[in-house]
């Protein structure tokens, strides 16, 4: 069973009749929001971007039976280039590394722009 998403409910309340064809879930993590977006907007294709490989594998597993969710192992940003991600034990805390993060656990990931995608 899919729970109603506060995000989807807020969008529907503030934008009555809004029916997107495409939704980007940037930093999709394991897919909870992508699944809620696909359920809440049944005419939309959800592009789910998750740059961290281990988390991306779980995302793919969680959405593999949902044709309207398209997972991509990419970060989205201002430029297309490899970037370093700060990897934390709680995957929702992963982020693009700042200069202070370069000696902490991390991984280099691919990043593209929304326009480039």
Query: What confidence tens digit (pLDDT) does each residue in 50-88 have?
Result: 999 999 999 999 999 999 999 999 999 999 999 888 777
Distance CA 59, CA 78 (A): 24
Residue 7 has pLDDT above 70, yes or no: yes
pLDDT in tens, 26-43: 999 999 999 999 999 999
Classify residue 2 as left (phi > 0), alpha (psi -120 to 50) or beta: beta
Q: Which residue has the tokens 């989807």?
A: 8
Read off the pLDDT of residues 93-106 as tens digits, 9 standing for 90 and up: 676 767 676 777 77
Q: How far is CA 18 from CA 8, 11, 14, 15, in A?
A: 11, 8, 9, 6
């Amino acid at each position: 069973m899919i729970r109603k998403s506060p995000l989807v409910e807020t969008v529907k309340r503030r934008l009555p009749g809004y029916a997107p064809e495409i939704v980007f879930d940037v930093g999709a993590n394991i897919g909870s929001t992508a699944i809620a977006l696909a359920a809440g907007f049944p005419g939309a294709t959800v592009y789910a971007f998750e740059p961290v490989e281990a988390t991306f594998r779980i995302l793919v597993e969680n959405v593999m039976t949902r044709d309207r969710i398209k997972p991509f192992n990419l970060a989205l940003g201002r430029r297309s280039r490899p970037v370093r991600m700060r990897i934390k034990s709680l995957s929702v805390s992963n982020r693009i590394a700042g200069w202070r993060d370069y000696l902490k656990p991390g991984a280099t990931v691919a990043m593209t722009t929304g326009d480039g995608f």
